[in-house]
Structure 1
Amino acid sequence: MVNGYSLDPHPRANFAKEQFAVVRIPRVKRERVPAASVEIVEDFETAVAQANPENKFYPAKVVGPARSSEGTMLYYLIDIYNYEA
């Protein structure tokens, strides 16, 4: 559930799930990002290892993908991890 909305159309459906990722975002204060800006990775350590904050790539936990009302595939940001490289 993100911001009070369930992304799964049915309780037994397994479409949108929480995953670790590296996301490219222009600013950290965002709620959702286009799927093209998200690279799903195996675990938190991989996300941190592949992150590059100087170039706007951040380790994150995301849920998705989900289709927006405009038809775009999006991931919702659950958490963006701040760390010292």
Structure 2
Amino acid sequence: MADNKGIPQELIDRINELSKKKKEEGLTSEELAEQKELRETYLSLFRENFRSHIEMLQVYDKNGKEVTPEKVKKIQRERGLRDD
């Protein structure tokens, strides 16, 4: 099961479980290594998802003129999301 951000809920639950255990009684070296790996996985998924959202954005000024940065437009063209 994944939450609405594309990050598996099981991953979040395990990170929280280890965090709570660390505060209450401490972690073994294996659990510390697992915690580090889980956090790296979480950040990787978060960054990937965030990048995908940014690349899908179109920005308009108050007059309705598109002012999407050219870098984002280029990525959108490469992915077939724009035809201009």
Q: TM-score band (shorter)?
A: under 0.3
Q: Which has the larger radius of gyration?
A: 2
Higher helix fraction: Structure 1 or Structure 2?
2
Higher strand fraction: Structure 1 or Structure 2?
1
TM-score, normalisation: structure 2: 0.22
- Indicate the structure whose relative CO is greater, using CA pairs within 8 Å and at least 6 residues apart: 1
